[in-house]
Amino acid sequence: MQIIDPTHDTRRATAPGPSPRSRNLLAACLAHALHDGYTDGLYAFMPVWQAEFGLSYAGLAVVRALYYGTMGGLQLPGDMVLRRLSPRSTLALSTLIASAGFLIMALPFGFAGLCVGLIVAGLGSSIQHPRASQLVTDTYGGASRGPLSIYNFSGDIGKATLPAIAALLLPLLAWRPVIGMMAALGLAATFGLLFLAPARFPVARGAAEKSGVDRRSAGFTLLTSIGALDTATRMGYLLFLPFLIHGRGGTSATVGIGLALLFIGGALGKAACGRLGQYLGVAGTVLATEAATAILMTTTLFMPLMPMLVILPLLGIFLNGTSSVLYGTVPELAPNGNTGRAFAIFYTSVIGSGGFAPILYGAIADHSNQTVGILTAAATAALIIPLVLALRPFLKSP
């Protein structure tokens, strides 16, 4: 029930401006875009760090793991520690900590400073995912599937912009000033979140109800397993795609074009498939996207270069689009209605799978060949299909 202050100027209440729902979604999307941009922006600095610090490829992987592992491993602890704080506090704090990590990297502390900065930045980014996802869920309640797909898509905006900006600036400036600019961007985003994010979590009509004994736990376990396998499929194919393009006679520039085409399709898929899930149902949408993913991945093995490039945006739609449907289903299956903890567990599983899967597929390809590696990734997508059929009884809209 809304309480109206009789002294309140009704003309101000009808003044144009974004609704509280829109502001909450914008705050979550701002945080997601920045933190995902931070995550993928690090790739632009890898060659520079390799040359400056004399790192091997394995050493670079370890350096990246300082950030990626911290971000993934602290999702659940971060959610538990900060559960009682407001969205304004948690999102601003996570962004402030992440930007502080980039600031530490920008200072002349040598290799040790780089490592410490990566860990601090990973700590900040670990907080964002579960808290921002819960903000969207609590704002929109039962109608959160579409907004969650928008939130998911906003991360791709950050992934597309920050790495590109960093790559353009690095030939002009030393890497530390570029990192410093990224830290300054994070500080600006922190102030933006203090303005946008609400002081309390809203409780939307239609939000999931909590229950002491919750059979949704079994459904959530299946959903988390599907999310991990979906991420494994995506990361596995991305591992082999540059080599697949080179094998068709493509150059390094062609690899860049191919990846861009795949990511463009992926961004479109994340925006579209979340909405599609509202009409076809979760199970129907995931069955369609995973089947199409397996078929198209296998098809690219037997296509010449140009037709393969043409088909990559379509593959990207299905390869990335499933994730929006899965993220949007987390609130529905959250054990005991605890969406924050459910998102933390889900993201931990997804990020962990994204780190481990390329190692596994790479080992398979090393002991056989690239074709077997890609077929194994396609088989992983096909493996999701029976799991989705098992998940269907737990869903409201199968």
Q: Are residues 238 and 371 in the same domain?
A: yes
Q: Are residues 381 and 343 in the same domain?
A: yes
Question: Which of 127, 162, 196 marks a domain boundary?
Answer: 196
- Provide the H-helix boundaries in 281-368: 282-300, 305-333, 339-366
Give the chain's largest Cα–Cα span.
76
Domain annotation covers residue 186: yes
The CA-atom distances, in angstroms, between 314 and each of 17, 26, 293 are 37, 28, 9
- Asked if 92 contacts 194 with a C-beta cutoff of 8 angstroms, the reply is yes
Domain annotation covers residue 389: yes
Domain annotation covers residue 282: yes
- Asked if 292 contacts 385 with a C-beta cutoff of 8 angstroms, the reply is no
Question: In this structure, how many other beta carbons lie within 10 angstroms of the beta carbon of residue 197?
Answer: 24
Q: Are residues 231 and 316 in the same domain?
A: yes
Domain annotation covers residue 368: yes
- Asked if 395 contacts 332 with a C-beta cutoff of 8 angstroms, the reply is yes
Nearest alpha carbon to residue 104 among 121, 124, 79? 121
CATH of the domain at 356: 1.20.1250.20
> Would you state the pLDDT for residue 5?
45
> Would you state the pLDDT for residue 212?
40
Q: Are residues 165 and 311 in the same domain?
A: no
The encoded tokens of residue 259 equal 């990846």
- Asked if 308 contacts 374 with a C-beta cutoff of 8 angstroms, the reply is no
CA 395 from centre of chain: 23
pLDDT block averages, 10 residues each, the chain of length 398: 43 52 84 86 78 74 78 76 76 91 92 92 85 80 74 80 80 89 93 79 50 64 89 83 81 74 81 72 86 92 90 89 81 76 82 77 81 89 90 73
The CA-atom distances, in angstroms, between 375 and each of 294, 358, 359, 361 are 8, 14, 15, 10
Domain annotation covers residue 300: yes
The encoded tokens of residue 190 equal 């922190």
Q: Are residues 43 and 178 in the same domain?
A: yes
CA 24 from centre of chain: 18
> Would you state the pLDDT for residue 170?
80
Question: In this structure, how many other beta carbons lie within 10 angstroms of the beta carbon of residue 76?
Answer: 18
Q: What angle do CA 71, 76, 80 make, to 5 degrees?
A: 125
Domain enclosing residue 379, as ranges: 216-394
Give φ, ψ of 5 to 5 degrees. -75, 120
Q: Are residues 369 and 254 in the same domain?
A: yes
Q: Are residues 168 and 272 in the same domain?
A: no
Domain annotation covers residue 210: no
> Would you state the pLDDT for residue 57?
57
> Would you state the pLDDT for residue 200?
67
> Would you state the pLDDT for residue 293?
92
Q: Are residues 231 and 109 in the same domain?
A: no
Domain annotation covers residue 205: no
The number of distinct structural domains making up the chain is 2
